[in-house]
Amino acid sequence: MPSALPRRALLAALAATPLVLAGCSASPSAAEELLAAHGQPAGSAREVIDALEALPLAKRPPELLASVGTDVLTLSDASGREASLELPAEELYVSVAPFVTGTHECFFHSLTTCRGELAEEELDVRVEDASGAVLIDETRTTAPNGFLGLWLPRDEELTLRLAGAAGEATTTLRTDAEAPTCLTTMQLGA
């Protein structure tokens, strides 16, 4: 007759499995570790993007690269560490660098290296969808890097209008899987 001890040991091991798995899920993720190594708080992709975009230039971690794709925020550094955070399924982040005299080409926005011409500039921002419904209509200030970050609904064709002291510009932008997350073509007053 088989002993009850192996069965009890098996039941004890199975009962402990959720505790072991819970302990694993409480450990820091690769993204959390990478951000912490550069003195940045962890969070969702949206929280990390908003925090990095708002940092003064002098406080941006020079060794951290943070690139916003259409589906993920990719983090890496000079030591070879890499991590990613998924963007919200219903929103796409588009960072706009309006300019007057100078710009640069960009497709995927880099939160730590991209620089725009109009840092901390107040702009009237209006975003409408294809039906003419207004999604955003407010005054915002560009970040210290000269970019204006917009969280927009996915899979839309939108009209973006910016107006400020230097003039205004209007463009059509897409928020699908092939869309850029960095827009550097809006020349104010042109």
Tell the burial category of 102 from Cβ atoms under 10 Å away from its Cβ (0-12, 13-18, 19+): exposed
Which pLDDT tens digit goes with each residue over 65-120? 999 999 999 999 999 999 999 999 999 999 999 999 999 999 999 999 999 999 99
Residue 3 has pLDDT above 70, yes or no: no
Tell the burial category of 67 from Cβ atoms under 10 Å away from its Cβ (0-12, 13-18, 19+): buried
Report pLDDT for 147: 97
Report pLDDT for 144: 96
Q: Which domains does the chain have, with CATH numbers?
A: 31-183 (2.60.40.3700)
Report pLDDT for 10: 37
Report pLDDT for 4: 46
Structure tokens at 185: 């073509």
Region 164-179: mean pLDDT is 96
Which pLDDT tens digit goes with each residue over 106-158? 999 999 999 999 999 999 999 999 999 999 999 999 999 999 999 999 999 99
Q: What global pTM score does this model have?
A: 0.83
Report pLDDT for 52: 95
